[in-house]
Chain A
C-alpha cells in the first residue's frame, strides 16, 4: 500500500516509539513524559490502576484521542520513523494502519459479512465479490471465528455472544490489514472461556501483527504478553510510565518499589 507524504512500512525493531509524549484534555494533563518503545510482532501489555492513563496512551497511538474535541497530544509518536502527529499525516491513514479493538464489543448493526467488508469497502476496496468473500473468510479464520459463523454470515453481528462479537471485532480490524492492533481491555466484558480464546488468538496474531493491549487483569498481562509497561498516576494526577520491560522480568523482579507493590496486590 503506497501513500504520498504518508507512512511507509520498513523493517525496524520497534513498531511504535513515543518521545516525551504528553496528552492533555483541555487544561488537564492526563499523561506526561511517556517514552515507550513497542517492539514489532510482540505483545505489549499496558497495566496500572484505573485513571492512570493507559487507555489514553493506547489511543494516542492511532490518534483516536482526537475524537475528544479538547484532547491534545504533545511530543512525538514515531511509527516506522515517521511522527504520527506531523502536520502532513492524515489520521485516517494512521487508523487504517493501526487497527483498534475496543473494551465493549461494538459490532455494527449489520450482517457478520458486512461487518468485515465495511473496512475494506470504505478504504477503496478494488477486488471482486469473490475476493471479498475470500477476505471475509480469511479474516474470520484468523480470528478463529470462521467455524462458528460460516453458515450464518448474513445474520446480524449482534446475534453473536459477547466473546464471538469481540472476535468479530478483531476479524473486522484484521480485514484492513493493519500492522499494529491496539486492544483496549478487550476481555473486560467477557467470561473466562471467551477471555482464554481471545488470548490464544493474540498469540496466533503475534506472528504477523504487533499488538498493544491495555488490561486491568494482571494475570492476563503476565501470561499473554511479551513486554509490560506499568503506569501510575502521579501526585499531579497525570499518568506516568513507571516501569517498562520484558513481562517476565517485570513480574518476577520489578525494579521499582511501586511496581512491586502493585503486582503483589498491595494496592490498586
Chain B
C-alpha cells in the first residue's frame, strides 16, 4: 500500500508513515479475526438448532412393523375396511369378551359410532394389531432393505408401513398406554387452558405493577427494595415457583383452586391440583419478567410526549392511558411473548404443582385435572419402548408449533399496534 501523505512527522508520539501502515494493517487483521469468531458463534448456534430439529423430525417419521395377533382373514371373508358398520358390530359381539364389550357399550353405544371408529376398535381389540418395531426417518430412507430383512426374520407375519407419528389422530386422540393410539389432545388442551390463565393473571398485574413503579412510585428506600427484589425474582429457578404454587395455590387456596368454593364438587378433582393452580403458578413465574420488560418499555417512551400531554392539561392518568401505555405496548408485548414462551415449555413447576401424567378426559375448565405438553413429553421420553420416543418427538413438534403460533399472533398484534401509532 502506498502512503497517502509523505510529509514528515514532527510530533513525538504519533507513528511514522511506515509504522502507521503497519499499525493499520494490524488493526484490520484484528478486526478480521473477531469477525471470524463472531461468524463462528452464529454458525455453531445455527448448527445446534438444525441438529435439534433434524433429530426431532427424524424420530417423528419412519417405518413401523405392524403385526396382528389374530389373522383378519379368520374373522371376515373380506378386508376389514370393506365391512359395513353392522358387520363390524357383529364381529365385536362375537369376538370380544363380555366385560370389554359392555365397557365399550357403556362409554358410547356401539350402534351410535361410525364405521371408522368401529374399525379402529376391531383392529385394536379383536385383531390386536401391534406395532412391533419402529425405525427413524434416516434408516427408513437409507437402509430400507436391512429393515425389511430384519422384520422378515423376527416378525414373519408383520407388515411394514410408513408412519408419520404426527398426524391428525395424534392431535385428536387422548392419552393411551399403547403408543400407536396415544395422542396429545388432553395435553394440548391442558397447555392452552393453562397459558390462557397465565396470561390473564400475569399480564394485567405485571403491566399494572410496572406502571405503578415507573410512573407513581417515588425513589424511596422501600421502592428500591421492591425493584431489586423483582429483578432477583426473575432469576429464581422455576422449581422454586412450583413449590410456592404447591404451598399457596394447591394447599392454602384449595377451596378456591379446586372449585369447591363455587359449588363444584367433582370427585376426581377433590384437591387443588387443577389447571387454575398451574396457570397461577406459571403466572407468578413470568410476572417478574413481564414487570421488568414493561418497565423498560415505559421508560423508553419519550418524556417529551408526557410533557406535551401534561402541557395540554391532561391528568397523570390521562397521560398514562393515552400516551405512555400505547407507546410502551409494543415493548410490553415483546416481553410478554418471551415470557409466555418460557411458561409454555416449563415442566418442573407443573410436576411439583401436580400435573397428572396419565389422564384421558379433556380439561373442561379451570378446575379440571390436567396435563400439559412438556409433562407428556417428559413422561414419554422416560418410557423404555421405542415408540414412546417417537411420539415424544411428535409431541415436541406440536409444542413447537403451539409456541410459534402464539408468538406469531403476538408479533402480528405488536406490529398492528405499532402501525396504528404511526399512521
| Residues of chain A contacted by B422 (CB below 8 angstroms) | 109, 156, 158
In this assembly, does B304 line the interface, its C-beta being within 8 Å of a C-beta of chain A? yes
Residue in B closest to A96 when the chains form the complex, CB atoms: B313
B313 touches A102 (CB 8 A): no
Please tell me which stretch of B186-194, B225-233, B314-322, B372-380 contacts chain A, meaning at least 4 of its Cβ atoms lie within 8 angstroms of it.
B314-322
In this assembly, does B423 line the interface, its C-beta being within 8 Å of a C-beta of chain A? yes
B306 touches A118 (CB 8 A): no
B311 touches A156 (CB 8 A): no
Residue in A closest to B423 when the chains form the complex, CB atoms: A156
Bound complex: CA A172 to CA B307 (Å): 13
In this assembly, does A212 line the interface, its C-beta being within 8 Å of a C-beta of chain B? no
What mask results when residues 267 to 310 of chain B are scored 1 for a CB within 8 Å of chain A, else 0? Answer: 00000000000000000000000000000000000101111111
Please provide the 10 A-B residue pairs with the shortest distance between their CB atoms, ordered closest to farther. A96-B313, A100-B311, A106-B304, A119-B312, A106-B308, A95-B313, A109-B421, A122-B318, A122-B314, A156-B423
In this assembly, does A150 line the interface, its C-beta being within 8 Å of a C-beta of chain B? no
B305 touches A106 (CB 8 A): yes
What mask results when residues 231 to 266 of chain A are scored 1 for a CB within 8 Å of chain B, else 0? Answer: 000000000000000000000000000000000000
| Residues of chain A contacted by B327 (CB below 8 angstroms) | 109
B315 touches A92 (CB 8 A): yes
Q: B312's contact among A69, A99, A109, A156, by CB below 8 Å, is which? A: A99
Shortest CB distance A92–B (Å): 5
In this assembly, does B102 line the interface, its C-beta being within 8 Å of a C-beta of chain A? no
Bound complex: CA A172 to CA B311 (Å): 10
Residue in B closest to A119 when the chains form the complex, CB atoms: B312
Q: B311's contact among A69, A99, A155, by CB below 8 Å, is which? A: A99
Bound complex: CA A174 to CA B314 (Å): 15
In this assembly, does B218 line the interface, its C-beta being within 8 Å of a C-beta of chain A? yes
A173 touches B315 (CB 8 A): no
| Residues of chain A contacted by B304 (CB below 8 angstroms) | 102, 104, 106
Shortest CB distance B130–A (Å): 64
In this assembly, does B323 line the interface, its C-beta being within 8 Å of a C-beta of chain A? yes
Shortest CB distance A72–B (Å): 14
Residue in A closest to B321 when the chains form the complex, CB atoms: A122
What mask results when residues 108 to 133 of chain A are scored 1 for a CB within 8 Å of chain B, else 0? Answer: 11110000001100110000000000
How many residues in B have their beta carbons less than 8 Å from beta carbons of A?
A: 22
Residue in A closest to B315 when the chains form the complex, CB atoms: A92
Besides A64-B310, A156-B423, 5 more A-B contacts (Cβ < 8 Å) are A69-B218, A109-B421, A122-B314, A123-B313, A156-B422
Most buried by A among B305, B308, B323, B423: B308
Most buried by B among A64, A108, A111, A172: A108
In this assembly, does B18 line the interface, its C-beta being within 8 Å of a C-beta of chain A? no
A residues contacting B by CB (< 8 A) are 62, 64, 67, 69, 92-93, 95-96, 99-100, 102, 104, 106-111, 118-119, 122-123, 154-156, 158, 169, 172-173, 176
Bound complex: CA A99 to CA B323 (Å): 18
| Residues of chain B contacted by A176 (CB below 8 angstroms) | 312-313
B322 touches A122 (CB 8 A): yes
Bound complex: CA A222 to CA B421 (Å): 40
| Residues of chain A contacted by B302 (CB below 8 angstroms) | 106
In this assembly, does B219 line the interface, its C-beta being within 8 Å of a C-beta of chain A? yes
Tell me whether A64 and B311 are in contact in the complex, defined as CB-CB below 8 angstroms, given that A109-B421, A156-B422 are known contacts: yes
A173 touches B311 (CB 8 A): yes
B308 touches A93 (CB 8 A): no
| Residues of chain B contacted by A62 (CB below 8 angstroms) | 311
Shortest CB distance A100–B (Å): 4
Bound complex: CA A108 to CA B423 (Å): 11
Bound complex: CA A92 to CA B311 (Å): 8
Shortest CB distance A119–B (Å): 4
Q: B308's contact among A69, A108, A154, A155, by CB below 8 Å, is which? A: A108
Bound complex: CA A102 to CA B304 (Å): 8
| Residues of chain A contacted by B308 (CB below 8 angstroms) | 102, 106-108, 169, 172
A118 touches B322 (CB 8 A): yes
| Residues of chain B contacted by A123 (CB below 8 angstroms) | 312-313
| Residues of chain B contacted by A100 (CB below 8 angstroms) | 307, 311
| Residues of chain B contacted by A172 (CB below 8 angstroms) | 308, 312
Tell me whether A64 and B307 are in contact in the complex, defined as CB-CB below 8 angstroms, given that A99-B312, A176-B312 are known contacts: yes
A108 touches B311 (CB 8 A): no
Bound complex: CA A107 to CA B323 (Å): 11
A155 touches B315 (CB 8 A): no
Q: Please provide the chain B residues from 192 to 238 with a CB less than 8 Å away from any CB of chain A in the complex.
A: 218-219
What mask results when residues 114 to 158 of chain B are scored 1 for a CB within 8 Å of chain A, else 0? Answer: 000000000000000000000000000000000000000000000
Residue in B closest to A169 when the chains form the complex, CB atoms: B308
Most buried by A among B308, B312, B315: B312
Shortest CB distance A151–B (Å): 15
Shortest CB distance A156–B (Å): 5
Shortest CB distance A244–B (Å): 25
Tell me whether A108 and B310 are in contact in the complex, defined as CB-CB below 8 angstroms, given that A155-B423, A158-B422 are known contacts: no
A95 touches B423 (CB 8 A): no
Bound complex: CA A104 to CA B307 (Å): 11
Shortest CB distance A93–B (Å): 7
Tell me whether A154 and B423 are in contact in the complex, defined as CB-CB below 8 angstroms, given that A109-B327, A122-B322 are known contacts: yes
Bound complex: CA A99 to CA B218 (Å): 27
B311 touches A102 (CB 8 A): yes
Bound complex: CA A158 to CA B219 (Å): 34
Bound complex: CA A92 to CA B310 (Å): 8
